[in-house]
Amino acid sequence: MLIRSLTLATLFAVSGPLFAADSDTPLAQERGKTRPLIVIAPSSIDPTLVNLKKSLDEPANKKAFQERNMVLYTVVNLMGQRDGKDLDAQTTMALIRELKLGVSGETKVILVGKDGEKKLDHLGPIETRVVFETVDQLPAAEKEAMPPPPPVVETPPAKGGKAAKPAKPPQPLDD
């Protein structure tokens, strides 16, 4: 009996994180909310990365970037950032695994839609105009994609015959 219990406990301990990893990936958390623009560069002085960041810092492009509900992920030498804030190593590796990238020495620019699908996969330099045009050409259904609402749980009436107040949905976490 003890061996069965230990085997079962070991199975749960090993398989639990594997099931949880599917929903904890950065792109899964962005799904339905924003469009991630991911730049994977071999170094921080890569011309594509530097030019893209400089272009996105211009006021007109910054406003257009925000209007399109986009977020910038950068991965340089396995060090990830989301909008300039550092990501931990696990989150960065989860992002790389989720994108299913091959080995490449070139800079890669990937645009992921709100539906979680790749909309643009480009090697080398790219202009922000091309990224914005790609977003503007997306079908209306993708543009208005929203995360599914949380399920409504019906509660039985309390002893006094009054219905209980429905619980508020949980608030999303801020970065």
Write the DSSP symbol of residue 166.
P
Residue 81: inside a domain, yes or no? yes
Q: Tens digits of per-residue pLDDT, 78-119?
A: 888 888 888 888 988 888 888 887 667 788 999 988 888 888
Per-chain mean pLDDT for the chain: 78
- Beta carbons of 78 and 101 less than 8 angstroms apart: no
> Would 125 be classed as within a structural domain?
yes
Q: Which of 41, 142, 29, 156 is nearest to 101 (CA)?
A: 41
Q: Establish if 171 belongs to a structural domain.
A: no
23 domain residue, yes or no? no
In a domain, 148, yes or no: no
What's the pLDDT at 21?
46
**Is 146 inside any structural domain?**
no
Q: The domain that contains 101 carries what CATH number?
A: 3.40.30.10
53 within domain boundaries:
yes
Rg (CA), the chain: 21
pLDDT for res 30: 84
**Count of structural domains, the chain:** 1
Residues contacting residue 48 through CB under 8 Å, at least 6 positions apart:
39, 41, 107, 109, 124, 125, 126
Q: Is residue 170 part of a domain?
A: no
Q: Which residues constitute the domain of residue 90?
A: 29-138
